[in-house]
């Protein structure tokens, strides 16, 4: 008996919130019903590694917290409801979630992946999983013909980010999902940059959705985590098995942090988006900024697709300062914006992809996809936007 399939009434969500409910309602209520024993409005942190059993094989649905935990169950219910999946499984980090999806494959399987992904993803693929007989082809996923050409007989998975990290390239999810179905491959979308508030890949044909919950879902830069949202019971079962077998699960405390974070996801995303548009507009008019990568700008080559596929543009922006020296001059001066890795927190985070998130690609790898030494990425937070812009203005003056 595994709790995944038989969680007891007392601790389980009564039933998943219907998808018809609004996003903010689902974020606050799905899986987040008051705790029945006490009426506590917040899901408790079940800090228990094990659960008492009445006799051999007789228990309340929970046996051991690597297999399942009531706080984790609640978060998994919530995130599935937000993405429109049938279930979700949470892991210790975004990378652990990606690794779990790849662990559903077997030696000899082939993966088509975007050529511009978060740097840690190709690092996992090339430096770890390739040693176990998986093969990878990287393509510009904004080019449908290139995607079509990359399929092989053994292709099982198409791994996408849209928009990509950090160059903000989009791909047409509906078209790639159709193509992948023809080739009997599943589509996995890393939806970290948009969050389910602005983009719902399952509704466009994706089979699995991944997030680093470390980012917008948590939203407060105080915990790592990852999730895989499933569209079939088979996927949910396989991933529950991987939680139990490989053990990279999210702790009850960090599950609780995400449960708390998602309650404000809708209002945070609206503010991120509003601030993101204003900062992108400011940067696009700045004479020292050579190029701005933001799908909300009419000059972005996929602005029309962005309007179709996403319900907002978010707050991830990359911009070109011209050189490593220029990037460093400005990054040394920022104050309201914090220089650091990560994204999606309430605070504005500014980073240098070539030496941070995409260092693992090497110079040649970065050159191939267009990540220059002068590129700066900003995750616009929800501070007063005038203060963010004033900070960027004084920092850019150093160039």
Ligand X SMILES: Cc1ncc(COP(=O)(O)O)c(C=O)c1O
Nearest distance from residue 347's CB to ligand X, in Å? 15
| 120 touches ligand X (CB under 6 A) | yes
Query: 231 with 260: CB under 8 angstroms?
Result: no
Site for ligand X in 350-369 (CB under 6 A): 357
Nearest distance from residue 217's CB to ligand X, in Å? 10
DSSP string of 229-255, one letter each residue: EESSHHHHHHHHHHHHHH--BPPHHHH
Nearest distance from residue 164's CB to ligand X, in Å? 8
User: Distance between CA 176 and CA 144 in Å, rounded?
Assistant: 7
CB closer to ligand X, 120 vs 322: 120
DSSP letter assigned to residue 11: T
User: Which region holds residue 168: left if phi is over 0, alpha if psi is between -120 and 50, else beta?
Assistant: left
CB closer to ligand X, 13 vs 221: 221
Nearest distance from residue 95's CB to ligand X, in Å? 4
Nearest distance from residue 337's CB to ligand X, in Å? 17
Binding mask 52-91 toward ligand X (x if CB under 6 A, else -) reads: ----------------------------------------
User: Distance between CA 193 and CA 316 in Å, rounded?
Assistant: 7
Which residues are the active-site residues?
66, 118, 190, 215
Q: Which of 46, 51, 118, 293 binds ligand X (CB under 6 A)?
A: 118
CB closer to ligand X, 43 vs 224: 224
CB closer to ligand X, 93 vs 199: 93
Query: 66 with 3: CB under 8 angstroms?
Result: no
Site for ligand X in 182-241 (CB under 6 A): 190, 192-193, 212, 214, 224, 226
What's the order of all strands across the beta sheet hosting 375-379?
291-293, 316-320, 375-379, 349-351, 338-339
| 293 touches ligand X (CB under 6 A) | no
User: Distance between CA 183 and CA 130 in Å, rounded?
Assistant: 22
Q: Which of 94, 196, 219, 276 binds ligand X (CB under 6 A)?
A: 94
Nearest distance from residue 158's CB to ligand X, in Å? 16
Q: Which residues pair with 136 in a beta bridge?
A: 111
Question: How many residues bind to ligand X according to rule CB under 6 A?
Answer: 15
Nearest-CB residue for ligand X: 94
What are the tokens at 79?
């995130």
User: Distance between CA 114 and CA 390 in Å, rounded?
Assistant: 35
Binding mask 301-340 toward ligand X (x if CB under 6 A, else -) reads: ----------------------------------------
Q: Which of 12, 95, 111, 249 binds ligand X (CB under 6 A)?
A: 95
Q: Interhelix angle for 94-102 vs 120-127, to 10°?
A: 40
Nearest distance from residue 182's CB to ligand X, in Å? 27
Site for ligand X in 147-176 (CB under 6 A): 161, 165
CB closer to ligand X, 121 vs 180: 121
CB closer to ligand X, 70 vs 252: 252
Q: Which of 69, 78, 93, 99 binds ligand X (CB under 6 A)?
A: 93
For residue 161, give the nearest of 182, 190, 183 by alpha carbon: 190
What are the helix (H) ranges across the chain?
3-6, 23-29, 70-83, 94-102, 120-127, 144-150, 173-182, 195-198, 233-246, 252-262, 265-284, 303-309, 324-333, 362-369, 385-396
CB closer to ligand X, 27 vs 95: 95
- Tell me the CB-side half-sphere exposure of residue 164, using CA atoms within 13 A: 26
Residues that bind ligand X (CB under 6 A): 93-95, 118, 120, 161, 165, 190, 192-193, 212, 214, 224, 226, 357
């Amino acid at each position: 008996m595994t709790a995944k399939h038989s969680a007891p009434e007392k601790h389980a969500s009564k039933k998943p919130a219907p998808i018809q409910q609004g996003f903010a309602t689902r974020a606050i209520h799905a899986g987040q019903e008051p705790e029945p024993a006490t009426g506590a409005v917040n899901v408790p942190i079940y800090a228990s590694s094990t659960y008492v059993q009445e006799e051999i094989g007789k228990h309340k649905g929970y046996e051991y917290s690597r297999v399942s935990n009531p706080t984790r169950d609640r978060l998994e219910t919530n995130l599935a409801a937000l993405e429109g999946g049938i279930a979700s499984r949470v892991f210790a980090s975004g990378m652990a979630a990606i690794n779990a999806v790849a662990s559903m494959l077997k030696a000899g399987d082939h993966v088509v992946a975007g050529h511009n992904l978060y740097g840690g993803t190709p690092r996992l693929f090339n430096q770890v999983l390739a040693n176990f007989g998986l093969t990878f082809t990287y393509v510009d996923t904004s080019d449908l013909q290139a995607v079509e050409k990359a399929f092989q007989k053994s292709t099982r998975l198409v791994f996408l980010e849209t928009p990509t990290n950090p160059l903000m390239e989009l791909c047409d999810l509906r078209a790639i999902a159709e193509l992948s179905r023809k080739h009997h491959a599943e589509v996995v979308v890393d939806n970290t940059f948009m969050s389910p508030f602005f983009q719902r890949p399952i509704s466009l044909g994706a089979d699995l959705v991944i997030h680093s919950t470390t980012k917008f879902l948590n939203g407060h830069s105080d915990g790592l985590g990852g999730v895989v949202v499933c569209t079939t019971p088979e996927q949910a079962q396989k991933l529950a098995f991987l939680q139990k077998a490989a053990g990279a699960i999210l702790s009850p405390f960090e599950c609780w942090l995400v449960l708390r974070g998602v309650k404000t996801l809708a209002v945070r995303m609206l503010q991120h988006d509003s601030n993101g548009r204003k900062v992108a507009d400011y940067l696009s008019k700045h004479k020292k900024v050579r190029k701005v990568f933001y799908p909300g700008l009419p000059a972005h080559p996929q602005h029309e697709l962005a309007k179709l596929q996403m319900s907002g543009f978010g707050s991830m922006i990359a911009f070109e300062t011209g050189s490593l020296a220029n990037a460093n001059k400005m990054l040394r001066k920022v104050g309201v914006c914090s220089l650091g890795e990560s994204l999606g927190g309430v605070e504005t985070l500014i980073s240098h992809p070539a030496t941070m998130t995409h260092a693992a690609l090497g110079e040649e790898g970065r050159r191939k996809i267009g990540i220059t030494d002068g590129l700066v990425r900003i995750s616009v937070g929800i501070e007063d936007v005038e203060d963010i812009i004033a900070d960027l203005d004084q920092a850019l003056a150093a160039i």
